[in-house]
Amino acid sequence: MIPIYEPLIDSSESSMVAKCVESGWISSRSPMVADFEKSFLQYLCAEPESGLAVSSGSAALLLALKTLGIGRGHEVLVPSMTFSATVSMILLAGATPRFMDVDPKTWVITPEILEKALSAKTRCVIAVHLYGNMPDMEGIMKIVSSKGILLIEDAAEAHGSSFGRRKAGTFGDAGIFSFFGNKIITTGEGGFTVFRNPSATATARMMRNHGTAGQGDYSSRHIGLSCRMTGMQAALGLAQLEKMDEIISRKNTIAAAYEKNLLAQTRLSLQKFTPGWSGIPWLTSLLLPHECASEREKIISRMGENGIQIYTTFTALHTLKPFQQARGTGSLDVSESIGLRGISLPSGPSLTTDMVDHICETLMKFT
């Protein structure tokens, strides 16, 4: 079976994790956690000490919301086309999500969509970098900056992406990443939060640790969480960061192979990328023809029978029961259409161009 995603892991990860275990420092107090934080911030070209590693991408987002003071009575604008964790964390923070639609070609918000969605109650915007693609961050920044609105980047799927000369996750008041096993680099489970304001980072460090300053301190300054990254996760992450350039190069080759196979035909519509964006797609994703939408599950099953694992895209969240109390800011038809017609193709860095050719040939037989 060709899996939807498989991380690039070899003996270097095994050696680094073994080194952590042999040191005896396997918990969040391992020096490797600080080493990983420093290395990832250097990769982002972010300020030293401006971010921290946590236990998951979801924890990273909840920590960002709570640290920035987002909670009851605050409206947070968020696209309906995103993974459920984005909106779940808004609700867990006590805030009120309001859904925006996305662009039909890029599948992300635009400055025009955001401008129309704003209300007097809007306190924060979450810009989701869907499948690695980023919105027009310069346009988004102009709007939020002029109105004093907080901006959080959900860059869970956007390691290796940039807009202009700045890396994903470094535009907003906060940016978050996921290191789950199917992400571009992985720590098994894990996440990262980057802040613009150094004082926010210091607060988040305490909130990550039950609201305390750390080892031996039992005087909580904040209502906190326990969402620390372990030394073993950090060890895996350090080895993965050494491979980042190789992973990006491999995934660029894979993305180019998909484009070569699929751009020329008209029935399948690949997700397009925002002008000014550079990087790699996390998962190569596309829309099936309208007439094939009702057959999507059957197509996925047939691909599986042929040894190829494909997924549906995310479901538009406003259509799901847990999130139906959240109002939209207008029509959400584009998000709904992507949720009904979209599929994601195998995109792991170990794919070969021959495998991509086979995937595309098989897909076109069934569509």
Per-residue pLDDT, 265 = 83
- What is the pLDDT, as a whole number, of residue 279? 93
- CATH number assigned to the domain comprising residue 210: 3.40.640.10
Do residues 162 and 235 both lie within one domain? yes
Q: Residue 53 has what pLDDT?
A: 98
288: alpha, beta or left? (left if phi > 0; alpha if psi -120 to 50) = beta
Among 210, 242, 274, which residue terminates a domain? 242
φ, ψ of residue 251 to 5 degrees: the values are -70, -30
Helix residue ranges, H only, 79-155: 84-92, 111-117, 137-147
In a domain, 2, yes or no: no
Three-class secondary structure of residue 52 per DSSP: strand
Question: pLDDT tens digit string along 287-345?
Answer: 999 999 999 999 999 999 999 999 999 999 999 999 998 888 889 999 999 999 999 99
Query: What is the span of the domain harbouring residue 262?
Result: 244-366
Model pLDDT, residue 47: 94
In a domain, 186, yes or no: yes
Q: What is the pLDDT of residue 220?
A: 77
Residues 254 and 279 in one domain: yes
R_g over Cα of the chain:
20
Long-range contacts of 354-357 (CB under 8 A, 24+ apart): 355/2, 356/254, 356/257, 356/258, 356/261, 357/257, 357/261
Instruction: Single out the residue in 195, 219, 242 at which a domain terminates.
Output: 242
Do 263 and 230 lie in a common domain? no
Same domain, 149 and 46: yes
Regions in the chain scoring below 70 on pLDDT: none
CATH number at residue 359: 3.90.1150.10
Shared domain for 212 and 325, answered yes or no, is: no
Least Cα distance to 251 among 286, 278, 288 occurs for 278
Number of domains present in the structure of the chain: 2
The per-residue pLDDT for 263 is 86
Task: Output DSSP code: residue 321.
Answer: G
Same domain, 119 and 258: no
Let me know whether 124 and 219 are in one domain. yes
Whether 37 and 65 share a structural domain: yes
Residue 359 phi/psi, 5-degree rounding, is -60, -45
Catalytic residues: 183
